[in-house]
Amino acid sequence: MPTERKHPAAGERLHKVLAQVGLGSRRQIEDWIRAGRVHVNDQPAVLGQSVTGADRIAVDGQPVTLAAPAKTRLLIYHKPEGEVCTRHDPEGRPTVFDRLPPLPSGRWISVGRLDINSSGLLLLTTDGALANRLMHPSNHLQREYAVRVNGDVDAAMLERLRAGVELEDGPARFVIITDGGGEGRNHWYNVTVDEGRNRLVRRLWTSQGIVVSRLLRVRFGPLQLPRALGRGQYREATAAELASVSARPAPASRPVRSSSGLKPTRRRG
């Protein structure tokens, strides 16, 4: 079960402390430290620095209160197409953060992203350390998608996608591919990857000359997209759901097949 986060009386790494109070992920905060945006006791912070509750911390000149929320919060959000996952979009497009409940302190942190043309399950948390752990490549958390493709797909192509193909940023593959139904050239597949590289699912299909016409994320790690959750809606994760992603993941082993039983061609809303 998730526990209350403690005040850093004995000294903790600065980027971890700031992530715990919801200012961002550890990786983001490390970038802020490199850029000179973070000060401790009126001096520029350095990577790896430890702080205690007695230290004065400021980000962009604004003091940071180290009193963390009593408990980590996690939202399960059904992202619709047309929303971006950035906090402020220079083009003025709607963002996933526009719909979220306000927080008395800290901020919501997106666990990974879905591109503007993709929809489905998006997790958001107040705990930057949790977000970092869920996104970290070493944990190999599976992401499952329902994908509608346009093109002629044959058995040899599916075998190549399972075995692995070379992309511009290295080899990649689908851990699982199952037939989702459909007729003609517009066909559905359920595919699973165990990493979060940018637009990975689309790029894997594109490597075979296949166009993705719709992409819906239906699972992230142990959490499924709830059937009753409409597009643009969110709900708070239950204690059991939060515990399932807060625990340290076990070493990657055999792929886990989805238990969602999702029929993507029948999904509405």
pLDDT at res. 237: 96
Report the alpha-carbon distance of residue 27 to residue 15 in Å, rounded.
8
pLDDT (mean) for 153-158? 95
Q: Is residue 178 domain-shared with residue 153, that is, in the same domain? A: yes
Q: Is residue 182 domain-shared with residue 121, that is, in the same domain? A: no
How many domains would you assign to the chain? Answer: 3
What is each CA distance from 137 to 40, 79, 111, 197, 257, in whole angstroms? 30, 23, 13, 9, 20
Q: Could you list the active site residues?
A: 115
Q: Is the confidence at residue 160, as pLDDT, over 90? A: yes
Q: What is the pTM of this model?
A: 0.72
Residue pair 37/106 in contact by the 8 Å Cβ criterion: no
pLDDT at res. 68: 53
- Three-state SS at 268: coil
Report the alpha-carbon distance of residue 269 to residue 267 in Å, rounded.
7
Residue pair 29/19 in contact by the 8 Å Cβ criterion: yes
What would the 3-class secondary structure string for 30-83 be?
A: HHHHHCCCEEECCEECCCCCEECCCCCEEECCEECCCCCCCCCCEEEEEECCCC
- Three-state SS at 209: coil
Q: Is residue 7 assigned to a domain?
A: no
Q: Is residue 236 domain-shared with residue 114, that is, in the same domain? A: yes
Domain span holding position 32: 12-63
Q: Is residue 46 domain-shared with residue 175, that is, in the same domain? A: no
Tens of pLDDT, residues 46-91: 998 998 878 899 999 988 877 655 578 999 999 999 999 998 889 9
Q: Is residue 95 domain-shared with residue 131, that is, in the same domain? A: yes
Q: How much is the CA Rg of the chain, to the nearest whole Å?
A: 20
